[in-house]
Amino acid sequence: MAETGIVIDPRYLDHDTGRGHPERRERIAVLLDLLDSHPPGLRSLPPRLATPDELALVHDGAYVEDVAATQHLPRYAFDADTPACPKSYETARLAAGGFLALLDAIMTGQVGNGFAFVRPPGHHAERNRAMGFCLFNNVAVGAEYLRRVHKLSRVLIVDWDLHHGNGTQHIFERDPGVLYVSTHQYPYYPGTGNFDEVGRGDGEGYTVNLPFPAGFGDAEFAEAFTTVVEPIAHQFAPEFVLISAGFDAHARDPLGGLEVTEAGFDRMARSLLRIAQQHAGGRCAAILEGGYDLTAIRNSSAVVLDELRAGTAAAVEPAPASRAAPLLERVRRTQSNHWKL
């Protein structure tokens, strides 16, 4: 059985967001402690710095230069939520580059799948704007890298973060080569991600949003995966599955109102691994997004890693109807012009 690659590094602590900021160094510190023993089946992969040209696969070159300029400033705030310190640019390059190192290792067969535990997170970063704690859109850089460098045609991104990944959606909303699926609390920051946002032009239908109200948890996520995410993903037949793995949908998280538990994240991971095995030769990579309760991050990361290490993608039982049924029916009707649901 192929090993599971992990990317984590003490240098991810260098991005200093300041006192009281929820996206803090301890998010990585608690995972460094978890992974210090390197359980059997895990292979540590050293991160590298993404080059400016690699970042420019999805970001405007002038914006990359703007972030680079923060190296020479004692503090800088892109907005009220997104600060930078002199080491933030290099740490953000290491976050994107760490994910690319993992993708290269999977594509070359060094590992079968993996998880990049990086910060700062990325899915809110737009082509030319930092926001929502995010400087560079790590998962979007990775998806475009797979297509440009490894010549893949179809990449699936599933984003289970509490918050909608506006940046990822907007970067690929006109592109039928990337299927973006997001489960998130709505209405909530950043205000995007309603069910009728389905992509534009040639990309129409390749954006799938599942906007959940506060209070939804394991049962509702399970039904969403059974009735919407899995059928669409199987029709898309991805060549690689990427997971924007935010753990702020956890019931313990202080920033939101969803009620997912470790069991819910376990089921979602198993579902996506099964899709990867059936269509992508098992190629699946997760990258850390949000998650601000340290216990929830640690325990949820552990269960997802256990699924990745097992690599068996055991069958996932169909979920019974839940409180999500009316909302999911609305999503299915919206997507019925594009997919057989």
Question: Mind telling me the catalytic residues?
Answer: 124
pLDDT score of 1: 66
pTM: 0.98
What does the pLDDT read at residue 51? 98
Task: Give 7-66 pLDDT, tens digit per residue.
Answer: 999 999 999 999 999 999 999 999 998 888 767 899 999 999 999 999 999 999 999 999
The tokens for 80 are: 């009220």
| Architecture of the domain delimited by 4-335 | 3-Layer(aba) Sandwich (3.40)
Say yes or no to pLDDT of 312 above 70. no
**In this predicted structure, what is the pLDDT of residue 36?**
82
What ranges do the domains of the chain cover? 4-335
Q: What is the pLDDT of residues 216-245, one digit of tens each?
A: 999 999 999 999 999 999 999 999 999 999
Phi, psi of 298 (to 5 degrees): -60, -50
**Segment 164-172 mean pLDDT:** 99
Average pLDDT value for the chain: 96
Mean pLDDT of the region 145-156: 98
pLDDT at 72 > cutoff 90: yes
